[in-house]
Structure 1
Amino acid sequence: MLKFFSKPPLFILLGALLACQLPAVADTSGVSSSISKAVQAATVNINSASAEELADTLIGVGLKRAEAIVAYRNTNGSFTSVDQLLEIKGIGEKLLSKNRHLIALK
């Protein structure tokens, strides 16, 4: 008789959990705009960014290389192509390929 009474609370608990299930489909309406904003925030405009901003955003670019990017920009004017970064000492194809998705030209 004692076994019989020990099982109903288990069934009640299980029933309550099943009744309180979350919906199978989550609301993702704001997710794409949040991701888009995050991607925009993670990019850097090489025509206006400071050396510190470049060093903080670009992979494998420290302050020294970032200062070289700014110096190149100040000497030659605004970048018209991301590939112009290859003209800067210390920036090669490998480094540029790691950062293309982070670079904006505006």
Structure 2
Amino acid sequence: MADTHSRGYLLAARRMVWCGILLFVLGLAAIAAAASDGAISWECDPTCRRVESGLWKTVEMVGAVSAGLGSVLLVSAFLMVMLRRPRPESESGGR
């Protein structure tokens, strides 16, 4: 089992938090950009309808995956820190 009090373990959890925040925010920004009015155009052949290009649908899907991955990283880093094993007690009775 991993030493949950080592510097490497806590550094990994810290990096997971920051990467999770970054991915979550970038994902939300991509979703917001794809949902904006600039991404949707009007096509008026016989009737007028709103059309979204395939590129913007891809951007929206990548944004959703990024936001999901960011939230998973945040939750797992939180659990890594909160569910650490207690330090082992010394065999001399704590003296």
With normalisation by structure 2, the TM-score equals: 0.30
Structure ID, larger Rg = 1
The structure carrying a bigger strand percent of its residues is 2
Give the number of the structure with larger relative contact order, counting CA–CA contacts within 8 Å between residues 6 or more apart.
Answer: 2
With normalisation by structure 1, the TM-score equals: 0.28
